Structure 1
C-alpha cells in the first residue's frame, strides 16, 4: 500500500509539472515569435522576405502600432487577421482600411497572462485616449463607447456616415461574448479634427 501511494504521488507530481510547463512553453514560444517580428521590423530592407519570419517586407512596412496609455498598452497591429497573426499581435479586421478613415477595426486575443494583446482592453474607460501610429502619422481617438456584444454582432464594424472611428474587439473572459471599445478621431499629427 505504501509503495502504491508513493508511485501515485510521483505520478501526480509529474502530471502537475507537465501541466504547469505547457503554458510556460507556449509563453516562451510566443516571446520568440514576437522578438523575431520586432527584429524583422527593425531590419526592414530591400529583401523580398525578412529571414526568420514569414512576413514580406511589404507586410512589415504595413505594421502599425496601437497605444493606449491608460492601460499601458503598446502593441503591433498586423494588416491581416489570420490565426498565426493573432498569436503574435493585434490585427486589422477589415481589408483595405486606412487610419483616420471610416471605422478602423482591430481585433486581438484577450491573452491569459500579463499585458499581452488585449488582456486589459476591458479596463479602458470612456474618454481615454487611443493612439494609432503609422510610420508617418499619429491618429488620436477618444473612447466614446464600451459594450459587451455577441460574436454575431458584426455591425459594430460598419462605417457610419461622417464618422471617423476606431473599434477594438476582444473576447470576454468566458469567451462567449466580445468586448467592443469604440473611439472617435479627435486629432491627426497634432491637428484637431
Structure 2
C-alpha cells in the first residue's frame, strides 16, 4: 500500500510539473478559444447595417473629432487608458485582431488599461477606431508576452507585405505590413494619423527582455484600390528573436528531462516492489 501511494504521488508530481512547464501553451490555447468565441458572436451580426447602427455612427464621430483636433490629447505612446467610446452593454470588445504569421487571434479591448492589457490587445485612446476609412490610424497595443501568454511576443516575425486582419462589429478588414520601426516611448508623432491613409499600427515593448526601453511599431495599410508603397524595414541592433527561441528550447528541454527522470524513477519503483 505504501509503495502504491508513493507511486501515485510520483505520477501526480510528474504530471503537475509538466503542466507548469506547458502553462504558456495551455493559456495560449484557452485565449485562442476565447477569441474564437468572440468571432462566432460577431458573425451572428453580419447582417447588421453599419450606416443604421448608432455604435458605428458614434465611432465615426470619434474618428472625425480626433482627426480634426490633431490628436492633441495624445501625450505619449502608452497613454490614454480611457476608452475611445462606450460600447453596448452586451459588448466587451470591439472585435478581434488576427495575425496569421504570428499565429495569434486576440480580442480588441478599448483603452490601454492594465486590466485590458492582461486580457488581450487594446486600442489606445486618442487613436482611431478601425472602421476601414482613410485619414485614420488605429494603434493597437499588447504586451510582449504576459504570464506565459505570447500576445505580441513574436512581433519580429512580421515582414513587409504580411497580412493583418481586423474584425470589427460590422466587417472584416485586411491590412498589409508596410513599415517596421523602433522608437523611443515618447515619440508620439510616430503614431499619429497620416493624411489619406487607412492604417493600423501594432505597438509593443522592445526588446523582449529589455524592460520596455523602446517601442516596436509595425505599420499596416489597407488598399483602397491603389497600390501601396512598401517601405524598407528600419535597421535595429537589439533583436529579441534569439532570446525568445532560447527561452522556448530551455522550457522544452526541461519538459523532456523531467519526463525522462520521472519515468526512470517510477520504473525503478515498480521493479523494487
Q: Normalising by the residue count of structure 2, what TM-score does the alignment of the two structures yield?
A: 0.48
Task: Name the SS for the 1:144 alignment partner.
Answer: strand
- 5+ residue gaps in structure 2? 1-16, 43-86, 227-273
> How many Å separate the matches in 2 of 1:181 and 1:107?
11
The answer to whether residue 104 in structure 2 is matched with residue 73 in structure 1 is yes
Query: Which stretches of structure 1, 4 residues or longer, exceed 2 Å deviation after superposition?
Result: 37-44, 55-59, 94-98, 112-116
1:179 to 216, 219, 222: 216
1:84 — aligned with what? 115
> How many Å separate the matches in 2 of 1:43 and 1:133?
11
Q: How does 1:98-109 map to 2 (within 5 A)?
A: 98-99=129-130, 100-101=132-133, 102-109=136-143
Could you tell me whether the CA contact under 8 Å between 1:80 and 1:95 is conserved in 2?
no
2:250 — aligned with what? none
> How many Å separate the matches in 2 of 1:68 and 1:39?
14
> How many Å separate the matches in 1 of 2:127 and 2:144?
25
Q: How does 1:10-89 map to 2 (within 5 A)?
A: 57-60=89-92, 62-89=93-120
Q: CA RMSD in A?
A: 3.6
Of Structure 1 and Structure 2, the greater helix share is in 2
1:162 to 196, 219, 241: 196
Q: Report Cα offsets for 1:103-124 as digits up to 9, x if no partner.
A: 1110010005666211111211
- 5+ residue gaps in structure 1? 1-19, 45-54
The higher relative CO (CA closer than 8 Å, separation ≥ 6) is in 2
Could you tell me whether the CA contact under 8 Å between 1:73 and 1:115 is conserved in 2?
no
Distance change >3 Å, CA 154–CA 185, structure 1 → 2:
same
Q: Larger Cα Rg: Structure 1 or Structure 2?
A: 2
Q: Report Cα offsets for 1:83-105 as digits up to 9, x if no partner.
A: 11101111001347331231111
2:182 — aligned with what? 148
Distance change >3 Å, CA 153–CA 113, structure 1 → 2:
same
1:128 — aligned with what? 162
Q: How many residues align?
A: 158
> How many Å separate the matches in 1 of 2:168 and 2:88?
18
> How many Å separate the matches in 2 of 1:96 and 1:151?
16
Q: Report deviation, 1:135.
A: 2.7
> How many Å separate the matches in 2 of 1:117 and 1:168?
11
2:231 — aligned with what? none
Distance change >3 Å, CA 134–CA 152, structure 1 → 2:
same
Distance change >3 Å, CA 158–CA 178, structure 1 → 2:
same
Q: Normalising by the residue count of structure 1, what TM-score does the alignment of the two structures yield?
A: 0.66
Q: Report Cα offsets for 1:54-77 as digits up to 9, x if no partner.
A: x973542x4221011111111111
